[in-house]
Amino acid sequence: MKRKLINSLSMALIALPLLAGCSGETEAIKLVVWEDQSNIEMLETIADEFIAFYKRTYPSAPSFTIEFQSQSEKSAVERLGTIANTGTEPDIVAFTHDTTATAAAAKLFAPISYSYEVSSNHNLEAVGAFSIGGVLYAYPNVTESITLMYDKRKVDAADLASFSALKTSGEKIGLTAQEVDSAYYMWGL
């Protein structure tokens, strides 16, 4: 995840010297990132490392800061739609892949220009999750894995032979979840 975030930030920041050169000013540039509160502390550390690397690599480039704003990934596209074209939009948005079609239809995101680079460095399913009609609209950040935790007293080997067998035997299983409103932590069988 760290490498992919740094790659994503690198692509976004590579244009900073070019954009600053257009204005004729050398004031600091602020990059605003919407991210889930639970990830901000970790990402601030990564961002600080990236900024230090950027300053060493491009010493004559304008300075910049990265401001993380807490925004739930599951409601980011909806909120973005309410502030589009107000001048208060973030530069980078972390959002759930199932809102890509909504964002693309509302023209909240532009198609990714260098989609081959993204496609060649990410898993096909992750790229597909952020593509509509074969057009890539966002950079995949992470690919989630599904972990099944079960009580061996209630589930036997035959129940685990396939997902459909597990679903069929689901009435025997009690479900415990960390966040009952999040599909990332709870999915009923």
Tell me, letter by letter, the H, E, C secondary structure of 39-103: HHHHHHHHHHHHHHHHHHHCCCCCCEEEEEEECCHHHHHHHHHHHCCCCCCCCEECCCHHHHHHH
179 and 102 fall within a common domain: no
Of residues 15 and 72, the one with the higher pLDDT is 72
Lowest model confidence (mean pLDDT) among 30-34, 134-138, 154-158, 185-189: 185-189
Does 157 lie in the same domain as 102?
no
Q: What is the pLDDT of residue 179?
A: 53
| Crossing angle (nearest 10°) for helices 2-13 and 37-57 | 60
132: which strand partners?
135
Q: Which of 39, 30, 27, 24 is nearest to 12 (CA)?
A: 30
Q: Is the domain of 102 the same as that of 151?
A: no
Q: Are residues 16 and 87 in the same domain?
A: yes
Helix (H) or strand (E) run with residue 31 in it: strand 29-35
Out of 87, 108, 129, a domain closes at 108
Measure the CA–CA gap between 129 and 48, rounded to whole angstroms: 29
Lowest mean pLDDT among 58-67, 74-83, 105-114, 158-167: 158-167
Q: Once rounded to an integer, what is the mean pLDDT over residues 158-183?
A: 66
C-alpha 119/C-alpha 123 separation (Å) is 7
Q: How many domains does the structure of the chain reveal?
A: 2
Mean pLDDT of the chain: 80
Q: 0.75 cut: is pTM over it?
A: no
Q: Which two tokens stand for residue 36?
A: 């889930």
Q: What whole-number percentage of the chain has pLDDT above 70?
A: 74
Specify whether 20 is located in the same domain as 92: yes
pLDDT(11) > 70: no
- Could you tell me the residue range of the domain that residue 174 belongs to? 147-189
Give the domain-ending residue among 83, 108, 133.
Answer: 108
- Tokens representing residue 157 in the block: 């080997």
